[in-house]
Amino acid sequence: MRSTNSAATRSRSLPLLTERALAFKDRPESPAPTDVKAAGRSVSGQGSDTSWHYLLILAGVDDVKADRMICRFVARAGGVETVTPTEAYDAVVGAHRILVLEAPDLTLRALDHAIWGAERARRR
């Protein structure tokens, strides 16, 4: 069985995911956020919250995607073996709420990028 997370699947799915999400903006009424998310998650290979948050980031929304690097960082910082993507997401958003008090210009996206870069450097 082929993995749905392959680069080929992602390269085919992202345009379709973006097309479905953008279709909602042409509606005369504003869709509920859950409608947009459901449309995005209906694309083959894009059903995870990580994919959804990545799409939001690509669309310019200040967000964080709890991918494997973010999960590793949060698990290590918390002194545990593993964390779920939801736990990692909540931890990073919570940390951002505290950090932004000292660094008002810090965005979730910048924090995501910094954590990802730190994890990448550890793996070398």
pLDDT tens digit sequence for 56-98: 777 788 889 989 999 999 999 999 999 999 999 999 999 999 9
Number of H-type helices and E-type strands within the chain:
6, 0
Residues in the chain: 124
| Predicted local confidence at residue 2, as pLDDT | 45
Specify the higher pLDDT residue, 65 or 6.
65
Residue 67: CB atoms within 10 A of its CB come to: 19
| Predicted local confidence at residue 112, as pLDDT | 92
Q: CA 91, CA 48: separation in Å to the nearest integer?
A: 18
* 3-22 average pLDDT score: 54
Q: CA 43, CA 17: separation in Å to the nearest integer?
A: 6
* 24-39 average pLDDT score: 58
Contact residues for 88 (Cβ-Cβ < 8 A; gap 6+): 66, 70, 71, 73, 74, 75
Mean of per-residue pLDDT scores for the chain: 77
Can you say whether residue 19 is alpha, beta or left, with left for phi > 0 and alpha for psi between -120 and 50 degrees? alpha
